[in-house]
Amino acid sequence: MDEYLTEKEQVERIRLWWRENRWFLIGGAAIMALGWSGWQQYQAYQQRVAEEAAALYLDLQASIGDDDSERADELLARLAADHGSSGYLDQARLLVAADNLIGDTQRSIDELTAVMVGSRDEDMAMIARLRLARVLAYDEQYDRALEVLNVTEPGEFGARLSEIRGDVHAATGNVDAAVGEYTDALLGAGNGTVDTEFVQLKLNELIQVGRPDSTDEDAG
């Protein structure tokens, strides 16, 4: 038993144990130190990459503001090549899509599709989906817009999806379908994701369109 060893014997045992295990302990300490240093370097690298992506995004934003589409395209290509997993790339694509809506609708569609399909941020992907559906409707690609809006589990975006489906149906003259979608949007608007007053206005107008004209009835 250790408690029966003399002080000298205990010291000797400690020395023996140290000789047998010191390199393991020293190596373990070195590995821990390297691991901590490596983690700090990784964090610094991540910060530097994020700052580079942010700088490119801000430059792109400024280029669009200056109507320098060639420079904006160059910066977007750099973001895609060097920061493909960054949220700044998604934001940049949304900016470029908005900038090209009138002049190059297909480019707008392509950029929004890229975000919808490729974003790691589910909310960002859904925002791109909603905008894409509106752009497709603007381009009179109504069937494709409805396909984009066909989401199995929309979560908090359900009301917004219903509203845009209503807009698409209204644009094609399908009043009954539009009324149903606007009604669903209002019923699901508890989380404030849609402008209920605006949706109600659109719904009222459609209901009014669907009613017989009282003047015509009296004339008949």
Q: What is the pTM of this model?
A: 0.74
Domain shared by 58 and 144, yes or no: yes
Residue 20 has pLDDT above 60, yes or no: yes
Angle at 164 between CA 137 and CA 194, to 5 degrees: 145
Boundary of a domain, candidates 104, 128, 150: 150
Domain shared by 76 and 130, yes or no: yes
Domain shared by 57 and 105, yes or no: yes
Give the rounded percent of residues in the chain with a pLDDT score beyond 70.
72
Domain shared by 122 and 61, yes or no: yes
- Diameter over CA atoms, the chain: 122
* 215 part of a folded domain: no
Q: Give the pLDDT confidence of 48-98 residue by residue, as tens digits.
A: 768 899 999 999 999 999 999 999 999 999 999 998 888 899 999 999 999
Residue 1 has pLDDT above 50, yes or no: no
Give the rounded percent of residues in the chain with a pLDDT score beyond 90.
58
Mean pLDDT within 142-153? 94
Provide the CATH number for the domain around residue 101. 1.25.40
Domain shared by 105 and 174, yes or no: no
**What is the domain extent for residue 110?**
52-150
Residue, of 219 and 90, whose pLDDT is higher: 90
Q: Give the pLDDT confidence of 107-140 residue by residue, as tens digits.
A: 999 999 999 999 999 999 999 999 999 999 999 9
C-alpha distance from residue 30 to each of 25, 26, 27, 35, 172 (Å): 9, 6, 5, 8, 70
Boundary of a domain, candidates 109, 132, 150: 150
* 3 part of a folded domain: no
Domain shared by 146 and 83, yes or no: yes
Domain shared by 68 and 103, yes or no: yes
* 61 part of a folded domain: yes
23 pLDDT band, cuts 50/70/90, is low
Q: Give the pLDDT confidence of 195-209 residue by residue, as tens digits.
A: 999 999 999 998 887
* 13 part of a folded domain: no
Domain shared by 56 and 146, yes or no: yes
Domain shared by 56 and 114, yes or no: yes
Domain shared by 121 and 68, yes or no: yes
Domain shared by 132 and 202, yes or no: no
Q: Are 175 and 194 in contact (CB under 8 A)?
A: no
Residue 9 has pLDDT above 70, yes or no: no
* 43 part of a folded domain: no
Domain shared by 145 and 201, yes or no: no
Boundary of a domain, candidates 102, 125, 150: 150
Q: How many domains does the chain have?
A: 2
CA distance 58 to 53: 9
Residue 42 has pLDDT above 60, yes or no: no
Mean pLDDT within 40-51? 64
User: CB-based contacts of 130: which residues, under 8 Å, 6+ apart?
Assistant: 157, 160, 161, 164
pLDDT at position 155, please? 87
